[in-house]
Structure 1
Amino acid sequence: MKTRAITGFFFIIVMLGSVLLGHYVFGGFYLLLSLFCLHEFYGLNIKSGIEPNRAAGFVNAIFIYFIFALITFHYKPEYLEILFLLTLTFSAVFIQELFKIAVAPFTNIAYTFAGLIFVIIPFTFFHAMAFIKGGFNFHFPLAFLLMLWANDTGAYLVGRAIGRTKLFERHSPKKTWEGFIGGVAISAAVGFVISIYFPELPWKQWVSIAILIGCFGTLGDLVESMFKRSINIKDSGGILPGHGGLLDRFDGFLMAAPIVYTYLYFVVNA
């Protein structure tokens, strides 16, 4: 428990610093973090006997993140034309497989793209969240992280204290409906407090975002659990002592970030 607490403390410090130190640090940090998560995802596949095309996967990951970061940071119509290069980088995934001797080549191709969709795309949405109103504004990604952590912590504490009814036992035996409801409620309370200090949105919108994070963050956790169970692995890694791997820490993030960005996009531009 002590190791878990120490790791969690430094993890939060690093994450807060990445948001508060300006858009260059913000963009660079989450690019590196997304690549580490993708490396972990591909590594888990390799342990289960699947051979994703990692070289082509990383090239596509960097390109996808970079071009969308460029578009959100300083939009120009001509930047959209660069997206057509994805036809080449995506083709590289198939071409690389031609030079390998594999029993199931299209399984390897599928998991290569699955890593990009499951890991990289959510990080591009999270990065874009900071530019939802045009210029860099750390309030939105910071608020997202605070509400996500509140949901995780609330679900854990409430579930441990009064949890009885299993939420989705087949994929996550320890999760309960009581914990889920408690996590959403605490996240919503944090969303209300955030509205006092971050006036970009009214309190109803911040609370709505908190509820989205609670619901889709939990679903992301269940999806990652389903993935690990499908390849018979308990933790995604050991890079965070007491917490497991990066994917274990960002499972809720991966599904909630695109949903919250989509919600913000339509609310801000309404």
Structure 2
Amino acid sequence: MKNLIKRTITGIIFVALIIGSIIWSQYSFVILFLVITILGLWEFYSLVKTTNFARPQTLAGIFSGGILFISMALVAMNIADFKILLINLATIPLVFFIELFSKNKNPFTNISFTILGIIYIALPFSLLNFFFNTGLIPGVFQYEILLGFFIILWINDIFAYLLGSAFGKHLLFKRISPKKTWEGSIGGMIFSLCAAYIISLFFKELSSIQWIIIALIIIVFGTLGDLTESMFKRSLNIKDTGNILPGHGGILDRFDAVFMAAPFVLIYLIFIV
């Protein structure tokens, strides 16, 4: 009961912060998610170091990931053009340069995990900036699409967990996640599709069919993101990636679905809608 109360309070604050930052302005979103990106990278590199298999460059990775996020945000807000993204090409050699003088035993393993953190965490978070400016309404700040994205993702997460806990019998991917079930996944899908239709009644930037397609993308790739993070935790033999969110675990625990779903939803919005 005590853990449920802690989980509920943390969840309310967490959701309120994200929704508030999205609705308030693109600047508030950038500030909050820059912090989340930094914390996520720190968490990832710290976990990898516990294996003694690799020693990723934490500060260099966070610096490179932060530069990637900020440069993407500046482009998305029309403050800078795409040329500024070239600055990210200079941060990758920095990782090699540092490793060259670090005298570590497995330099290329360290480099690989450093760059993996940037690709796996910083890049998807950076792409979220473009949800405000997909070109559907040129020059207009659109928070509705990003807000709808998170609502559908949360609905899928919540109902997959609740229905899986109550009715789950058939495991979805036993080798990777012994708790995720087909019943939970199907339940999450049904409620997500319903949520997408309801959202389409209020956020009319997209049609109901387009919102439902976005929901399907979130369901498929969000589940893939969840399983990928479970595989990561299983390889490290840990339950949670951190404890920064009491009752919920770490940053990677809460945003695992975003890492895989965000790029594919953005591709759909830009190239297909």
Deviation of residue 100 (structure 1)? Answer: 1.0
Partner of 1:99: 101
For 2:100 and 2:271, the matched residues in 1 are separated by 43
Residues 95-244 of structure 1 mapped to structure 2, 5 A cutoff: 95-133=97-135, 134=138, 135-244=140-249
Partner of 2:59: 55
One-letter amino acid matched to 1:65: F
Deviation of residue 152 (structure 1)? Answer: 0.4
Deviation of residue 98 (structure 1)? Answer: 1.2
Task: Encode CA deviations 1:95-119: one digit per residue, 9 max, x unaligned.
Answer: 0001212111111000000000100
Partner of 1:12: 15
For 2:255 and 2:214, the matched residues in 1 are separated by 18
Partners of 2:18 and 2:29 within 8 A in 1? no
One-letter amino acid matched to 1:55: L
Instruction: Provide the TM-score with structure 1 as the length reference.
Output: 0.95
Matched positions, count: 266
For 2:21 and 2:259, the matched residues in 1 are separated by 18
Partners of 2:159 and 2:187 within 8 A in 1? yes
List gaps (5 residues or longer) in structure 2.
Answer: none
Deviation of residue 160 (structure 1)? Answer: 1.5
List gaps (5 residues or longer) in structure 1.
Answer: none
One-letter amino acid matched to 1:262: I
Deviation of residue 126 (structure 1)? Answer: 1.2
Partners of 1:30 and 1:127 within 8 A in 2? no
Which secondary structure does the structure 2 equivalent of 1:150 belong to?
A: helix
User: Which residue, out of 64, 67, 70, partners 1:66?
Assistant: 70
- Cα pair distance change 1:9/1:84, threshold 3 Å: closer
For 2:134 and 2:10, the matched residues in 1 are separated by 31
For 1:106 and 1:28, the matched residues in 2 are separated by 32
Deviation of residue 81 (structure 1)? Answer: 2.7
User: Which residue, out of 84, 87, 90, partners 2:89?
Assistant: 87
Deviation of residue 75 (structure 1)? Answer: 6.6
1:27 matched to 2:17 = no
Partners of 1:184 and 1:215 within 8 A in 2? no
Q: Percent identity?
A: 44
Task: Encode CA deviations 1:31-68: one digit per residue, 9 max, x unaligned.
Answer: 11111111111111111112111222122112211222
Partners of 1:165 and 1:177 within 8 A in 2? yes
